[in-house]
Amino acid sequence: MITREALRVLVNNLVFTNLVERQYDDQFGKAGAKIGNVLNIRKPPRFVRTDGQGLQLQDVTETSVPLVLTTQGQRAFTFSSQDLALNIDDFSKRFVKPAVASLANQVDYDGLQQYVNIASSVGTPGTTPNALLTYLQAQRLLNDNAAPDDDERSIVIPPVSQAVIVDALKGLFHASDDISEQYKRGKMGTTIGAEWYMDQNVAAQTTGSAWVGATVTMVATAPTYVTTGLSTTVSLIALASTGTVQQGDVFTIASVYAVNPQNFQSTGSLQQFTALATQTSGGTTLTALPVYPPIILTGPFQTVTAAPATSAAVTFIGGTGAAVTSPQAMCFHKEAFAMACADLPLPGGVDMAERVSDKELGLSIRLIRAYDINQDRFPLRIDFLYGWTTLYNQLACRIWG
């Protein structure tokens, strides 16, 4: 009963995690069938257009995304034998709910750190969006990237963004009961084709300094970029001699436009790139900076209309001012991210060892209780083994605030 109650509380306290793909595999820890700590999630192949009666075979390239179970979230506490007289409701209120709510926040926080893998972004760093247009622009970028237009799109915003946008839109384009809900609970509900949620764990990005007071361009010689798998390393010139690009910084390159991943036509918007690592310039040059998306000019995985030109202007989100810390709200489709968990083993020789797994929920939680004869108390721990990955980067958009 206690373990099932812990799982129920965990599910009810998850926000972002409840909106993404959840993978559960009971083979991770099964004796005789252990598969290690990596779950490789295969992605469907993509194809280019071909016409005519003649057979035109295409190479089929399957890609996969590794999802590594690296985090064992744990909450441990102790209670006296007198507490065992409590019924399950009181026990849940006094012990289980606070511990598991904290664990749920940890899982959500880790998931929202995936923003660094997302290149598409809208808004202005340091300015909380106060109009629906910013969020509509995020939806537009999802559409440009061929995201499914269904009921599985969500927008997750921090508390400050919720306060601003609910006030700005009160009474607009809502039925009277929806307006009442906004006033009573301060929530947006369903708007512009997405479900809105507030999450206190929305991550913040502090922009780098490589472009502060500087004009940044591609190198004056032939620009270099090397594409490997899902990322590209590029060489830039940054005139700030000690400039740093932070992981998660976003920039565009002049005349390098994004393409729709299905018809490969230009979207009319410059391709945005996100830095996958933090790098400080050596002198005035940033070299081999890993970025997403990869620069691919042709074929089924084409991402841009053209290669970067010599001395092409590079523009970082945030302009040329000082570094800014900005919340990273997100508009995304459910398939953009995935969280996986697995069963943890049940030890012997303890007072209680139970595990509850639910494949439909994609969750597995373990509870172990021992007995301390010296203090007449029961140490108890709750564990949750999980990992996060970005499945489809193009199915999400960051909203600077």
Domains of the chain: 1-46+63-201+324-401 (3.90.1690), 208-323 (2.40.30)
Instruction: Please state whether the peptide bond connecting residue 293 to the residue before it is cis, i.e. omega within 30 degrees of 0.
Output: yes
Dihedral over alpha carbons 198, 201, 202, 208 (to 10 degrees): 160
CB 289 within 8 A of CB 233: yes
**Amino acid 186: pLDDT:** 45
Is residue 266 within 8 Å of residue 259, measured between CB atoms? yes
User: 293 near 394, Cβ under 8 Å?
Assistant: yes
| Mean pLDDT within 362-369 | 88
Q: Which is more confidently placed, 259 or 29?
A: 259
Burial of 250 from C-beta contacts in 10 A (0-12 / 13-18 / 19+): buried
Residue 95 has pLDDT above 70, yes or no: yes
The secondary structure of residue 92, as a DSSP letter, is I
- Per DSSP, the three-state class of 397 is strand
Which residue would you say has higher pLDDT here, 55 or 173?
A: 55
**N residues, the chain:** 401
Residue bearing tokens 């595999």: 25
Query: Who wins on pLDDT, 265 or 212?
Result: 265
Q: How far apart are CA 323 and CA 210, in angstroms?
A: 10
- Tens digit of each residue's pLDDT (9 = 90 or more) over 372-395: 888 888 898 999 989 999 988 999
CA dihedral 126, 128, 131, 137 (to 10 degrees): 60
Residue type (1 letter), 2 = I
Q: What is the mean pLDDT of the chain?
A: 82
Backbone angles phi and psi of 189, in degrees to 5: 75, -140
CA distances to 216, 223, 283, 291, 298 from 236, in Å: 7, 8, 12, 12, 23
Beta bridge partners of 154: 195, 332
- With beta carbons less than 8 A apart as the criterion, state whether 35 and 28 touch: yes
Q: Is 349 left (phi over 0), alpha (psi -120 to 50) or beta?
A: left
Q: Is the pLDDT of residue 47 over 70?
A: no
Burial 132-144 (b: 16+ CB within 10 A, else e): eebbebbbbbbeb
